[in-house]
Amino acid sequence: MARYRDLPLGFADAAVVAVAERNGGLVLSLDRYFHMVAQEGTIRVLP
């Protein structure tokens, strides 16, 4: 969570990112903050 402390991610959002990073990196979400995290290349966001 320290990596994304500047983003307004809640605990659940941070948990989704952590699980996605460990399990293939794919997230289905319309939340714009996930797209900001995806810019780092650690996850891919659909759609």
| Banded model confidence at residue 30, pLDDT cuts 50, 70, 90 | confident
Percent above pLDDT 90 for the chain: 9
Q: Which segments of the chain are extended strands (E)? A: 26-28, 44-46
What is the CA 27 to chain-centroid distance, rounded? 7
User: What's the domain count of the chain?
Assistant: 1
Tell me the whole-structure pTM to 2 decimals: 0.72
Instruction: Domain of residue 18: give its range.
Output: 2-46
What digits encode the pLDDT tens for the residues 33-44? 888 888 888 889
Provide the β-strand partners of residue 46. Answer: 28
**For range 15-24, the mean pLDDT:** 89
- For residue 1, pLDDT over 70 is answered with no
- For residue 3, pLDDT over 70 is answered with yes
Residue type at 35 in one-letter notation:
H
